[in-house]
Amino acid sequence: MAKILIASVPLSGHVNPALPLAKMLISRGHEVAWYSGAHYKEVIEATGARFFPFVRAKDFHDSSIRTQFPDLPYKSLFKHATYYIKHLFYDNMPGQYLDLTDILRDFPADLLLTDEWFTGAIPFAERKILPWICYCNSPLFYYTDEIPFPGAGIFPSSTLYGVNRNRIVNWMVTKLIFAKTHAYINSIRTQLDLKPMSHFFIINNIFLSDLFIKFNTPAFEFRWKDLPPRIRFVGPAIPFQSISRDYTWAHLLHSSKPIIFITQGSVNIKDYNKLIIPALKALQHSGAVIIVATGSTSTEELSAKFASDTVFIEKYIPYDYILPHCQLMITNGGFGGVITALYHGVPLVVAGDTEDKPEIAARIEYCKVGINLGTGHPSPKRIRKAVDTILNNPIYETNAMNIRDDFRKHDAPKETTRLIEELLRNRSA
């Protein structure tokens, strides 16, 4: 059996998808260690993995980003994305690399398994010190002549006009818009005596890794052609969680009324005016059962403001507990929540404008499993119109159910474990 070292960016969307995978690897007899932020020590150790904390690398987590990165911009998607890439992901590469070097003396791993934005593995992969497998709980960030650069806001097109348009967009993004970000990453690489990247940074790690595993299926993707063979779709990673409490509204989950779940995610949870309050204003008198997860410890004021027999506000509700009973989810577009909703055949109203949210929203619109509001600050009127459209048009539920059926043909931890073991056998041979 192998020694496998998992490493994750210390954010819930990067750690949680690998929890079932770690359990599966351990059940197969592999020895697993996991390097991530101190905030995730308990959930990581619960899998049976040995935990190693960030030491030289900067540690943070979902709730500390605003305080630890106070200059993180939110109004501009471009500035927000470039800040994340430069300062949360690549600035940490030297520290993560040094931490991993120390860990490998104590835990001589046969393989590195990390999320796609964990940059500390790059020197090991590039120098062929260890095989590197990336797991990816996000849309596929790739681009071709038929599919434009991620975040461009343009749907794929194979027409002559579309291909030429995409070539122009892809050139502008790589050579102009993100050129400084690409150069910034190369400057960090020089600190580790690495050469400039062979590919543009958004796709470079695909070609560095031995396997690039997507926790998704082609059913919830653009229609890609001629992808690199190392990209493998294994189905969604759904971290099922046990419930240790009884919710006062649990009996309503079996009522005849529509059940609508509202979430603003786990990072941008300070300002309820972005999505939660507009959604509550839109729906508090709709006759539906409204369940809200704030992600924050403060719910009393919000509950008092929207007091109702059909509105229930909690600080946290596991997705796999609530979504099997819902007719609709209103979300900022986090991939974990979206993929879990579709796993249960639930259509979506999405309003997100940070990180990878617009790219996720584009898939929702492209696959016709919901409505993309195209903003992170929607009005109650727009939310109500989108909700009414989805509840009154069965095409959204039908498409969501089709993706659900495709998702359930897969078992992401088993398929990923099989690929890992196959890679290790081939290297051994």
Mean pLDDT confidence for 178-190: 97
Q: Is the pLDDT of residue 407 over 90?
A: yes
Q: Is the pLDDT of residue 297 over 80?
A: no
Q: Are residues 67 and 117 in the same domain?
A: yes
> For residue 372, is it within any domain?
yes
Q: Are residues 196 and 322 in the same domain?
A: no
Q: Are residues 288 and 315 in the same domain?
A: yes
Q: Are residues 67 and 116 in the same domain?
A: yes
- Read off the CATH number of the domain in which 132 is found: 3.40.50.2000
Q: Are residues 294 and 423 in the same domain?
A: no
Q: Which of 118, 114, 112 is nearest to 92 (CA)?
A: 118
Q: Is the pLDDT of residue 304 over 80?
A: no
Q: What is the DSSP string of 17-81?
A: GGHHHHHHHHHTT-EEEEEE-GGGHHHHHHTTPEEEE-SSSPP--GGGHHHHSTT---S-HHHHH
> For residue 172, is it within any domain?
no
Mean pLDDT confidence for 385-413: 96
Q: What local confidence, expressed as pLDDT, does residue 269 receive?
A: 61
The pLDDT tens digits of the residues spanning 109-137 come to: 999 999 999 999 999 999 999 999 999 99
Q: Is the pLDDT of residue 74 over 90?
A: no
Output the pTM of the full model.
0.90
> For residue 159, is it within any domain?
no
> For residue 156, is it within any domain?
no
> For residue 158, is it within any domain?
no
> For residue 169, is it within any domain?
no
Q: Which of 56-65, 267-276, 279-288, 356-365 has the highest mean pLDDT?
A: 56-65
Q: Are residues 39 and 106 in the same domain?
A: yes
C-alpha 121/C-alpha 101 separation (Å) is: 10
> For residue 66, is it within any domain?
yes
Average pLDDT, the chain: 91
Q: Is the pLDDT of residue 27 over 90?
A: yes
> For residue 204, is it within any domain?
yes
Q: Are residues 190 and 315 in the same domain?
A: no
Q: What are phi and psi of 177, to 5 degrees?
A: -65, -45
Can you tell me whether residue 155 is helix, strand or coil? coil
Q: What local confidence, expressed as pLDDT, does residue 412 receive?
A: 96
Q: How many domains does the chain have?
A: 2
Q: What local confidence, expressed as pLDDT, does residue 47 receive?
A: 95
Q: Are residues 132 and 266 in the same domain?
A: no
Are residues 156 and 147 in contact, defined by beta-carbon separation less than 8 angstroms?
A: yes
Q: Are residues 383 and 414 in the same domain?
A: no
Are residues 336 and 135 in contact, defined by beta-carbon separation less than 8 angstroms?
A: no
Mean pLDDT confidence for 97-120: 97
pLDDT band, residue 249 (cuts 50/70/90): confident
Q: Are residues 12 and 40 in the same domain?
A: yes
Q: Are residues 210 and 268 in the same domain?
A: no
C-alpha 85/C-alpha 181 separation (Å) is: 8
C-alpha 3/C-alpha 113 separation (Å) is: 11
Q: Are residues 223 and 299 in the same domain?
A: no
pLDDT band, residue 358 (cuts 50/70/90): confident
Domain limits at 114?
A: 3-138+178-235+410-428
Q: Is the pLDDT of residue 42 over 80?
A: yes
